[in-house]
Amino acid sequence: MVILHALFDLKPDVSEGDFKKLLEDFCGHLQTEGYVIGWRWMRQIVPKGPAFPRPPQTHFVAFEFLDEVADERCYEYVARDEEPIRSLHRAMNSKVERGSAMFFVCSEVR
């Protein structure tokens, strides 16, 4: 399994409910098209106890792919910037604080 992690902050006037709907539309389309096999949306919490370094972003999405080939195919699909993914991607990204997004991809170690 390969996971693309997206870390970001929502714009101050955006509710989590509004973003969730757009994220589900975007990911649902990618799943229907056979790119992602699942996703999770999470909010960072700061636990009690000793402080440790952590990313500054408050929200995280983990996009799950079968393998690296599926991840690459999905990236190429979104990068083509054609409908319908163009509108879905832009609607979702319009709710994200500009400059806050960070991405990294990981694969399972076997």
Reported as a single tens digit per residue, the pLDDT across 40-61 is 999 999 888 888 888 999 999 9
Domains identified in the chain, total number: 1
pLDDT score for 60: 96
Between residues 51 and 32, the one the model is more confident about = 32
CATH assignment at residue 85: 3.30.70.100
Range of the domain at 74: 2-45+54-107
Rounded average pLDDT over 29-33: 98
Write the CB contacts of 82 (distance below 8 Å, at least 6 apart in sequence): none
